[in-house]
């Protein structure tokens, strides 16, 4: 008995070691497994103290933790300082901040990635969907009214027979959507309250038209298409909170309006933009970005824009190849935007490729400076072997590489057939090479076949020299077969580099 009491006391003391800050558990390697055992459902944020995105998330994360705790839920929220607990971060594949994972049933292996928004309501809704039934059974009008009132978007299925094929298809759709609460009812009073005379599905929302009624054959696929087309506002502002919904959604074609929110004609521009959006629901996501905000300047740079050039419209596809499009007219009217989007949907637009002007001294230094306008002529010169670094001015890995690249240029400055060059890929784009991360190193060997070879060797002077002397064989690979070396991702347009990182590499925030 004494032995049992001692063990019990030790276990209790161990649990007591899990500190809390604003209702959020503070986890370390020493108490991580104990926390998983003590709490069957736990959401864990791996963060960095300096990370801007983590700082923005913190109050909403704490608010969500407080809501669940006040409800008496067994779901808990926790956080891990990944810069201090590097072993834990490495174990769970943390490469950016914040990384948020859900551990269910005390299971340590294969946690589920958090995939919803970064507001408290989004977090709570996602967790409840992960731990409860796919759809809440509604038997009273007040239940439905509360569900609608408490959430930005709610989907309710009305089925006279809860075992019907339509009801089963509805529940399958509910299981497939993480970030929206679903309800299901067979109650006549609810049919009457929400004006349905037969089986149906209604999406309720706190914006635009307020509700959308599904019209068509009820199937999982059709319902998911209906939800995807109506769950977001016609026009959504890009912010820290909406970014996960924008980039994590199914709609990968985005049209962006860059406009100063403080401009006198802001509302007029918004009205025109919103009017154009009505005809492209479910096809193109309409987003506006406050071009005056300092936090958005990296995005403007990504599109080759300056604040003084706004208002402006750009379109981008976020598929395997990110492709940008620019309208012919700069006038922001509904007609112009509709015409632009129609041409895009019909596949009649040509990509917009940015290019700086050719510098007068582009070939003065050992490392030649390439821009979009002179790339083809230099890189595909049949008499030259051209080695190019595609970089970003803000990329920490590129800054580390710069002195080595300069030494390589110096080494081959008098060569008759080897050219060492670089191109700022935040300001220049070319059809022949799609750059997804920085730095990207590619070799264009002499000849008429326009061959491109990726460099996958060591980023050292010796490694580069062996590569060039071997004609692109030592450390090379066919274009497209890139290695796993850590790089700065081009899609993380709002990243903040940590210049004080002790190991010299840039940990980065995820957008």
Contacts of 23 (CB under 8 A, 6+ apart): 62, 65, 66, 69, 77
Active-site entry in 35, 257, 316, 395 = 395
CA distance 265 to 332: 11
Alpha helical stretches, state H, 251-313? 266-277, 297-302
Select from 393, 391, 438, 372 the least CA-distant residue to 298. Answer: 393
- Is 310 catalytic? The answer is no
Active-site entry in 18, 27, 51, 147 = 51
CA distance 14 to 10: 6
CB neighbours of residue 418 within 10 Å: 18
Q: Maximum distance among all alpha carbons in the chain?
A: 88
Active-site entry in 57, 284, 332, 398 = 398
What is each CA distance from 142 to 38, 73, 149, 189, 291, in whole angstroms?
35, 22, 10, 10, 43
Q: Residue 46 is encoded by which pair of tokens?
A: 């791996």
Q: Residue 89 is encoded by which pair of tokens?
A: 């971060």
What is each CA distance from 298 to 47, 99, 303, 405, in whole angstroms?
22, 22, 9, 25
Q: Which residues of 430-448 are buried (b: 16+ CB within 10 A; e: fewer)?
A: beebbbebbbbbbbbbbee
CA distance 355 to 420: 20
What is each CA distance from 338 to 333, 450, 508, in whole angstroms?
9, 38, 37
CA distance 252 to 326: 17
What's the CA angle centered on 208, arms 206 and 211, to 5 degrees?
A: 65
Select from 429, 55, 435, 494 the least CA-distant residue to 297. Answer: 494
Active-site entry in 24, 43, 54, 452 = 54
CA distance 301 to 306: 7
CA dihedral 389, 393, 394, 396 (to 10 degrees): 40
- Is 398 catalytic? The answer is yes
Residue 167's SS3 state is helix
The partner residues of 100 in beta bridges, in order of sequence, read 45
Q: Which residues are tagged catalytic? A: 51, 54, 395, 398
């Amino acid at each position: 008995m004494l032995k049992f009491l001692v063990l019990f006391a030790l276990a209790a003391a161990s649990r007591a070691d899990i500190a809390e800050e604003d209702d959020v558990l503070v986890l370390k390697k020493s108490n991580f497994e104990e926390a998983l055992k003590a709490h069957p459902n736990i959401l864990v944020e791996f963060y960095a103290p300096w990370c801007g995105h983590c700082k923005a998330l913190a109050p909403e994360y704490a608010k969500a933790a407080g809501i669940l705790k006040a409800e008496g839920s067994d779901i808990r929220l926790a956080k891990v300082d990944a810069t201090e607990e590097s072993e834990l971060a490495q174990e769970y594949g943390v490469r950016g901040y914040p990384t948020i994972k859900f551990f269910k049933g005390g299971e340590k292996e294969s946690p589920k990635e958090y995939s919803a928004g970064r507001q408290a309501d989004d977090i709570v809704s996602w967790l409840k969907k992960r731990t409860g039934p796919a759809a809440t059974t509604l038997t009273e009008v007040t239940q439905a009214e509360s569900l609608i009132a408490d959430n930005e978007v709610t989907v309710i299925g009305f089925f006279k027979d809860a075992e019907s094929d339509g009801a089963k298809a509805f529940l399958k759709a509910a299981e497939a959507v993480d970030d929206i609460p679903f309800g299901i009812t067979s109650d006549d009073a609810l049919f009457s309250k929400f004006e349905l005379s037969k089986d149906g599905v209604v999406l309720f929302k706190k914006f635009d038209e307020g509700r959308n009624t599904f019209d068509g054959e009820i199937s999982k696929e059709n319902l998911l298409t209906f939800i995807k087309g109506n769950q977001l506002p016609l026009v959504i502002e890009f912010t820290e909170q909406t970014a996960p919904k924008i980039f994590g959604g199914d709609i990968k074609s985005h049209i962006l309006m860059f406009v100063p929110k403080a401009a006198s004609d802001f509302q007029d521009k918004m009205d025109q933009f919103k009017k154009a959006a009505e005809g492209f629901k479910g096809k193109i996501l309409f987003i506006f970005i406050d071009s005056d905000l300092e936090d958005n300047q990296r995005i403007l740079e990504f599109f080759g824009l300056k604040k003084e050039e706004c208002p402006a419209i750009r379109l981008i596809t976020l598929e395997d190849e990110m492709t940008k499009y620019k309208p012919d007219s700069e006038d922001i009217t509904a007609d112009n935007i509709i015409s632009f989007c129609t041409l895009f949907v019909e596949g009649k637009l040509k990509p917009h490729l940015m290019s700086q002007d050719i510098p007068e001294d582009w070939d003065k230094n050992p490392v030649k400076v390439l821009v979009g306008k002179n790339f083809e002529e230099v890189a595909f010169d049949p008499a030259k072997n051209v080695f190019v670094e595609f970089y970003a001015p803000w990329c920490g890995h590129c800054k580390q590489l710069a002195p080595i690249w300069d030494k390589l240029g110096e080494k081959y400055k008098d060569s008759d057939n080897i050219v060492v060059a670089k191109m700022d890929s935040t300001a220049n784009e070319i059809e022949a090479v799609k750059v997804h991360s920085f730095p990207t190193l590619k070799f264009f060997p002499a000849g008429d076949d326009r061959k491109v070879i990726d460099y996958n060797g060591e980023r050292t002077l010796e490694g580069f020299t062996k590569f060039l002397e071997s004609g692109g064989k030592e450390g090379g690979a066919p274009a497209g077969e890139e290695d796993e070396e850590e790089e700065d991702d081009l899609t993380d347009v709002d990243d903040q580099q940590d210049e004080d990182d002790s190991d010299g590499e840039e940990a980065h925030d995820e957008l």
